[in-house]
A and B are shown apart, each in its own frame.
Chain A
Amino acid sequence: MDEAISLENITKSFGNNLILEDLNLKIVYGEVLCVSGRNGSGKSTLIRILSRLINPDSGNFFFNGKPIHDSKEFRKNIGVLLDSNMLYQDMTILENLNFSSSLYGIKNPQKNINYVSELLGISNYLKSRVKELSRGFKKRTELAKILLHQPRIILLDEPEINLDKATIETLKDIIVQERKKGASIVLCTHSEQFNEPIGQKFAYIKDRKLILSKNP
């Protein structure tokens, strides 16, 4: 299988606080990697490094087997769900999705919007302002937003937060579906619900190192 992202000897610290040290990771297309770890272990930092929102202090980053020359090309291919808010609260769901589509240059956004909103059960709320929605619906909208441009690499930071059991099941179905389409998915989570087999590999962060494991 083709390599999507590869990290070599990544080290990251914030001030004197060393978060990740000599981290190595290879993610291939069509694979789900489920990363766990205690609070503050560096899972969110890992997602931010993988999405290139922050630069590591040292180490190498490869996309499709090569160092990144065109950062825009890389960003076109990723969908990132962060632990922070990603929506404009004073805009409706539809306005948020249209706005995001325009930044990705999606030519026929309505088709993609209809697809993702059906998938995540938000189609009846498209004209509601985000600030009027429950946290669960906000999270669903964020998920819809990151799937809009059909990314080949999906990075999810604790996606289960604020989602009910049924929506987590839907999310797992989406993950399986995207994996089968060839997407590469990295999932940082505390939830045991992602321990059930969805074709994933497991890893955990301990003492600033990423350790691959056979079991959750």
Chain B
Amino acid sequence: MKHSLSALGYLIWKDLLLEFRSKEFIVSVLIFSLLTIIIFSQSINLTTMNPNEIGPAILWVSIAFSASIGIPKIYSKEKEENTLESLLITPISRDLIFFSKLISIFILLIITEIIIFSLSIILFNIQLLNPIIIIISLITTFGYSTVGALFGAMMIRTRSSEFLLPILFLPIIIPLLIFAIGSTEIALQLNDWGKCLPWIGLGITYNLIFFPISIFFFEKIIID
């Protein structure tokens, strides 16, 4: 158990170290989502529309699209440098590789979300610094990371993975996207835990379904 935790820590450290040296994930996710948010903020007349209604949709859709561009970058080193086989030879559980990818994607998405949220507060004048919204974003990001860690692994074995991932990833996360947009909208307008709880239940249920499914299929995908 102690060895597994230490190995998991090193796997995450390796992913984050490679990311902070290449900055491929952060740069692609950040640029794409910032551009989307800026374009929407300039093309929508915020004086006639309620930013609490339109803001969450723009925010979460831009994060979902940019995550689908960024997630393949987490696997691109293993793919380009063909290092997955050297991981599979080591005596670690294959689940650890999945957990490390999930946690690495989660950490990187949270970092980018902090920047995207800050910009959204300025551009849309919406109050995102709210404990309910923080819980919503943690649940949503966990879901994105779980599905992303699974589908990202599929991309190692395929060509044109950067085009294919969004096609597979986005339809699967639609329920999560509906949860994130709906619950953020309620949290912004009503700031009421009671009204948000059924939505939060939906988000947690999504994660409870997809987390074990992803663990189950991950090993089958990464081994020929």
Contacts and interface: CB of A to CB of B under 8 A. Distances in A.
Interface of A: 51, 53-55, 72-73, 75-76, 78, 80, 82, 84-91, 95, 99-100, 102-105, 145
B3 interface: yes
Interface in B1-48: 3, 6-7, 9-11, 13-14, 17-18, 21-22
**Which residue, of B86, B90, B93, has the highest number of chain A Cβ atoms within 10 A?**
B86
Contact of B91 (A76, A82, A85, A145): A76
A73 B81 CA distance: 27
B82 interface: yes
B91 A73 contact: yes
Nearest to A155: B89
B90 A91 contact: no
Closest A-B pairs by Cβ, 3 of them: A102-B10, A86-B86, A103-B90
Judged by DSSP, the binding face of B is helix
A85 B88 contact: no
A55 B92 CA distance: 18
B89 A90 contact: no
A100 B87 CA distance: 9
A95 B93 contact: no
Interface in B33-84: 77, 81-83
Contacts of B13: 99
Contacts of A103: 7, 10-11, 87, 90-92
Given A80-B89, A104-B91, A105-B3, A54 B82 contact: no
A80 B88 CA distance: 11
A51 B89 contact: yes
Contact of B81 (A54, A82, A85): A85
B22 A90 contact: yes
A144 to B, nearest CB: 13
A75 B7 CA distance: 15
Contacts of B9: 102
Contacts of A80: 89
Contacts of A73: 91
A72 B93 contact: yes
Contacts of B77: 88, 90
